[in-house]
Structure 1
Amino acid sequence: MDRLQNTVRPYAWGSTTAIPRLLGVEPTGEPQAEMWMGAHPGAPSRTARGPLTEIIDEAPEKELGAAAVAKFGPRLPFLLKILAAGAPLSLQVHPNLEQAREGYEDEERREIPVGAPHRNYKDANHKPELICALTEFDGLCGFRAPDEAADLLAALDVDSLKPYVDLLHAHPEEAALREVLTALLSADRDEMAHTVTEAAAACTRLGGAYTPYADIAHHYPGDPGVIAAMLLNYVRLQPGEALFLGAGVPHAYLNGLGVEIMANSDNVLRCGLTPKHVDVPELLRIVRFEASDPGVLRPEAAPDGEEVYATPIDEFRLSRYVLPDGAASHDLTLTTPQILLCTAGSVRAGEHVLAPGESVFVPAGEQAGVSGAGSVFRATVVA
């Protein structure tokens, strides 16, 4: 079992206080957005044995287990994070596995450099993800019903939004959502910036359910993603609740601290709320234009105290243990690799005592027990 030393990524949208507060350290004044745990080549966790990437490369079956290697290849197929949003992230969507392979192969054929700002596919993998709230956590997830989105826009009483309201009322669900998102992202930038400014002022004036969109517009003035955000479900997670983001589902995280886990991929297509490249034709190929409930997940308790966040994919499995003071030790030994992350209290994992924000990597088959008083998240795979 290896104690992990993890990299904190200083993206501009990160909170300046949330991760330091969790770790019990003084803020630096700089944004601290994500702490990565795993073997992603962009920022692999470090251990006393060396970087986790090198440890796995040297003996993949020993570290990951034969079943995981057979199913996913000689790599850790997930990335675990602590995510701290102090400002809205970009409105985005991820491809399914077939779309990712097609897009990656196409861009490889066209010899678009992987680091090019207009490249969509950095790899050939899909990127399903799960976010579990540690604090109240605000986000956008999936499309509202078109009539509901039309009513939200109409109440702003902005003349230039009325054509979108009419489109939302006039067409079947999929066609209405597709036409409006296409029109928003294809509109004249100066005209759309004026519309967004008017809509933002109306959101500020109305308050209530419009407050999140006023805040989004404050961070991204004039961005068409402000209006696109109003097509989506707004959701506030309470601590312990989660969202699963499958392929094609537009989403954005707005504010809060959470544990995030995802398949090991960098494939993101952006819809707005960003200065980065927005490839409208490719985006429209990927987005699932269907209204849906955001589907808030609550963990399912097993007899041994494990609380599992059920998802329909195998690259990751996230669960947690909430350990009361004096609880008996739990045996967590598996034939698959694990990362254990403490988020509250003090937890003993093997010979390591973990404070909030500290984590360990457990190789496949290695005996792993947890005890103490606190909360620990367990990330593994289904193999």
Structure 2
Amino acid sequence: AKYLNIRVGDQVYSIDNFHEKYFNPAYIASVLGGKTVKAVADIRKGIAPPPVVEIISPQANSEFESENITVTVSAKDMGGEIDEIRLYHNGKAVGEETRGMKPAAQRKELSAPVSNNKAAKSSSAVSDAGFTKSYSISLVDGDNIFRAIGFSKDRTESNPAEIVVRLVGGSRSVTMHVFTVGINNYKNPALNLNYAQPDARGIVDFFRKKGKGLFRNVDIRDLYNEQATKDNILSQLKQLENTNPQDAVLIYLAGHGENINDKWYFIPYELTYPEREEDVLSKALSSDELSSSIKDIKAQKILILIDACKSGAALLAFRGFEDRKALTQLSRATGIHVVAASTKDQFASEVQELGHGVFTYTLLQGLNGRAAGSGESITVRKLLGYIEEQLPELTKKYRQEAQYPVVDSKGMDFPLVIRR
């Protein structure tokens, strides 16, 4: 996408500017399979021009001794209205956002809701010059990269504005927060799995034993079986809002998953009939809810691992591509790393002789040193590369069919463990 551009009239845009509206990983597979693909829209008829976005304070390359600063973003309507302004701090979306804005000519002032997230509170105003939004930010040690984008009313993305500032001073202690969910036994026994709980415990045991080699503290939160209700999962995510910006967060979900209308849903313990669409929509944990919770977490280094098997009847063709789209949008909207192993049926990822699901077995092998390569540390991107390479090989070996993970990496890279 870096070298692929689209010209609309006299304006040239990166292909990434149209990701939210047009991205669908099923298109190429459908065309190659001889299927007719219906276009979302005809870009030749024009677009709603995105706003021009600028970070007006602080100045680029500023240095600060205090961690608390204000970042102010301006957006000028170029005729397509301003639907949303989004700010990323070191790759992670800042929790406060504003949707459905109107042009300055139509509205003279706008008050945005204030987030409870102390790392990123914001205020907004609209003037004849455009829209201005200020965020209260807590810096992390060293370089802090801020990137702002805007969206027009048809969700065309603006070119980004980016600055780097630096926090100077002593290093702060870093905590790794690990939150795992593993559901072997559902309220409806027909949904039961074999390795979701052992897989989640395997992640907990690994970081409990080896996490303190890199992190000052390791905070463990886990929910299993009947504990893993939607309310309890959301409650634990809420508590992660109290992390510090320099901390790292790993979220692991193992159980059943479903996909409806380009949104992904994790099936909690109490949902008994995932084949009923209305039950999933009202009772499951949606990717939108997950995204909203993650944006309010102050920690900037976040990795989500999902080993969610499919449940119920046979899937529609290209259903896996729908998962890929939903999870890619989750990563892009929040600025985090997302890795998922969605399978065609509920048993596809479970292999008795491994003692784990294949995805988590591969993950643990990577964490235990195989993803390090020639280096001493295992970073998120090294781990993701190892999973992408090894998971298809292992599933082909044990299940005679290669399983390809969904990997989307938008956040900053960070180490997970030091090999000893």
Report the TM-score, using the length of structure 2 for normalisation.
0.24
Report the TM-score, using the length of structure 1 for normalisation.
0.26
Where relative contact order (Cα < 8 A, 6+ residues apart) is larger, the structure is 1
